[in-house]
Amino acid sequence: MRTVVVLIFALGIVIARGEYVGLRTLQPRTLSYLILSGLATGISWLAYFRALQLAPASRVAPIDKLSLPLTIVLAGLLLGETLSWRLILGALLMVAGALLTLEA
């Protein structure tokens, strides 16, 4: 449901800005990536809500936020993005913070 709301909102912005013309020029590969991204978002939210049924939000949310350090690592490894020492330190602090919130 959340993904549908986001899709409608995003479509409204595209229409309001008059940028819907560009939708026709999307390559099939780009369109397939957008569809896969939407599916992944929907699946991740289903998993998030299931996790909230099984554990308190104070434990689930920090684990969910580990997606940012993971994205940083993948951006460096797969996309060849430059990772500065500050970015690496920030990602490590995120991981440490998430681990500190977990009960032993």
Q: Can you tell me the distance from the alpha carbon of 99 to that of 25, in angstroms, rounded to the nearest whole number?
A: 45
Closest CA to 69 of 80, 50, 83, 48: 83
pLDDT at 69 over 80: yes
- Going from N- to C-terminal start, the domains of the chain cover 1-54, 56-104
Under DSSP, is residue 45 helix (H, G, I), strand (E, B) or coil?
A: helix
pTM as predicted: 0.66
- List, for residues 4-46, the tens digit of each pLDDT value: 888 888 888 888 988 777 777 888 898 898 889 888 888 988 8
Sign of CA dihedral 73, 75, 78, 80: negative
Contacts of residue 95, Cβ cutoff 8 Å, sequence gap at least 6? 66, 69
Contacts of residue 91, Cβ cutoff 8 Å, sequence gap at least 6? 68, 69, 72, 73
pLDDT at 104 over 60: no
